[in-house]
Amino acid sequence: MPDTEKNLWILTEERPKREVIQQIIELVTKKPYEIKTIKPIICCKKFDGTYEVIGTKTVFPKIIIELVSGTSGKETGSFVDFLIFQQEDSPVPEKKEKPTHAIEETKTTPVQSRNTASGQRLSKFVTLKAYPEIFDKAKKVMIWNYRTEIKKKLPNTVWKDFRKMISLDVKLSGIDELVDLSEKKFSKFKDLDDLIKTQNSGRKPPKSNTPIKMKIEGIGPKKRLEISGKLKKGRSWSDPNMGNLSALIFLARKHKWKGNIVITKHQITQKKIDGTRKEGNKFLRIVTRYKANMSNIKLRKYEYAPYYWKKDKDKKEKIGSIFLHIAIEDNGKLEVIYENHASSEQGYIIDSNGKSNEYRKAGKKPDLVIRDDKNKQIFILEGEYAKNIRKGVKQLAGFTEFENVCKQFYPNYMCKRFVVLFGDNEFPPKMTKEEKNKVIFRLKIDGKMITYDECPQVIKDIISKLEK
């Protein structure tokens, strides 16, 4: 139950979406909730790094959102989307304070992604097990927040991932119209045999695929559990398969398998392993923790960071674009019609009828796109570190295809491309006038908000109102 004398803190790496924040508050309070706005908290004309949720009255004096970071970095990140704390003051990672909830969210339906959206998130929930003193009593939740109409049935392959999540003590939320979670097939695995039988069930995949299968081989001291699964994807690692194999390793140990576990058919080379950073990635840390191996690979020990998360206000270029996004939504005079602050998330362009349209085209995508109905303009914005001004300006040239799509939806609007900055660096002295005129806003590390000459007046007005 909520603590009625404490604030509700929502910690996240990403732009807090109203519909998701509303779901989270309802999940915690177990009561309906309606958000009126999310406001940047301004003190002495400076942004203090947090946002306050204003809406229906709850038992919490304040509901505050704070942007933080996982300790494992962008390349190997395994930080869940939201940590929820119920306490008076802002949480501090070094104190190892205990969140009440750890929540992951996706706006991709299981129908769209088959097992990708759920599979790739399994390793995040396994990673929580590495910090038992923090997360053992936290409620783990997976939220689906899809934005497109579902016209197909749930793929048969997805229920396996759902069952793995449930066996990891994860509550599934937002998919009631797709599945009946009370069905027997969504129960926890009874034992290792049930886990193996379930994982190996289903139609045989094409020969070109490497199926994720489990089998026990050998006898006596050489008895081992083999789990096959391709981990290579181009030059990188396969995120969904890292998640699935991580869950199978953990669940095998949970169900009393004490022998060797070997990952086979992974297609990862020793050179790839040796070139991995010191702390490895989320999969290699799980392999180490649960004493598994990879066939034909010599592994070193990969350690977890001492703290699961950190306060990292000066390390993310998207802080500036996220701030502007939330300030614009709070003001209400402009409409955000596209966002991609996370750079890899599924993108949707909202058309003039309010419909969300998937944008899957290859190439560079902007971080934020804003519609000004009064002046019939669309602002296509790229977020960048202040020290990388010129890089940000150069990237604007790559948005032509995206702009053409915008013009299809809004033929009577003029599109303009600009850069939004985060950080303290000033303009390089050799920048051309044209380059300087592409920068419209900068949020400094201390929270100071700066608008430049070419900043549209409607955005200048929004920032000026915040400073009052």
Residue 427 DSSP label? -
Task: Yes or no: say if 38 and 55 are a contact pair by the CB < 8 Å rule.
Answer: no
Q: Domain total for the chain? A: 2
Among 237, 261, 294, residue at a domain's last position: 294
DSSP strand E in 345-437: where? 347-350, 356-359, 368-372, 377-385, 414-422
Do 82 and 193 sit in the same domain of this protein? yes
Structure-token pair, residue 70: 């996982």
Q: Which residues pair with 352 in a beta bridge?
A: none
Q: Which pLDDT value is given to residue 113?
A: 47
Could you tell me if residue 149 is inside a domain? yes
Do 271 and 334 sit in the same domain of this protein? no
Do 340 and 440 sit in the same domain of this protein? yes
Give the residue ranges of the chain where pLDDT is below 70.
1-4, 72-77, 108-118, 146-157, 313-315, 342-346
Could you tell me if residue 354 is inside a domain? yes
Strands 101-106 and 139-144: parallel
Residue 356 DSSP label? E
Do 326 and 369 sit in the same domain of this protein? yes
Do 283 and 336 sit in the same domain of this protein? no
Q: Which pLDDT value is given to residue 346?
A: 62
Strands 69-70 and 356-359: unpaired
Could you tell me if residue 46 is inside a domain? no
Do 375 and 456 sit in the same domain of this protein? yes
DSSP strand E in 174-278: where? 213-217, 224-228, 232-233, 236-237, 260-264
Q: Does the CA dihedral 466-15-381-358 come out positive or negative?
A: negative
Structure-token pair, residue 176: 């009631």
Among 259, 294, 329, residue at a domain's last position: 294
Among 249, 279, 294, residue at a domain's last position: 294
Do 130 and 179 sit in the same domain of this protein? yes
Do 397 and 463 sit in the same domain of this protein? yes
- Per the listing, tokens 């070094």 go with 94
Strands 368-372 and 377-385: antiparallel
Could you tell me if residue 32 is inside a domain? no
Q: Which pLDDT value is given to residue 253?
A: 98
Do 76 and 110 sit in the same domain of this protein? yes
Strands 69-70 and 63-67: unpaired
In whole angstroms, how far apart are CA 29 and each of 34, 53, 86, 362? 12, 14, 11, 41
Cα gap 214→212, rounded to integer Å: 7
Q: Which pLDDT value is given to residue 54?
A: 97
Cα gap 442→451, rounded to integer Å: 7
Do 286 and 324 sit in the same domain of this protein? no
The amino acid at residue 358 is E
Cα gap 284→1, rounded to integer Å: 36
Do 82 and 162 sit in the same domain of this protein? yes
Q: Which pLDDT value is given to residue 115?
A: 45
Q: Which pLDDT value is given to residue 76?
A: 45
3-state helix, strand, coil in the chain (%, to 5): 30, 25, 45
Could you tell me if residue 52 is inside a domain? no
The amino acid at residue 95 is K
Could you tell me if residue 56 is inside a domain? no
The amino acid at residue 160 is K
Structure-token pair, residue 32: 């309906």
Do 351 and 426 sit in the same domain of this protein? yes
Q: Which pLDDT value is given to residue 153?
A: 62
Residue 81 DSSP label? S
Nearest to 263 by CA among 239, 291, 289, 235: 291
For residue 408, give its domain range: 318-467
Element holding 116 (H helix, E strand): helix 116-119
Structure-token pair, residue 432: 């051309």
Could you tell me if residue 37 is inside a domain? no
Could you tell me if residue 214 is inside a domain? yes
Give the full edge-to-edge strand order of the sheet including 170-173.
35-43, 46-55, 63-67, 7-12, 82-87, 101-106, 139-144, 170-173
Structure-token pair, residue 254: 């949970």
Residue 443 — left, alpha, or beta (φ > 0 → left; ψ -120 to 50 → alpha)? beta
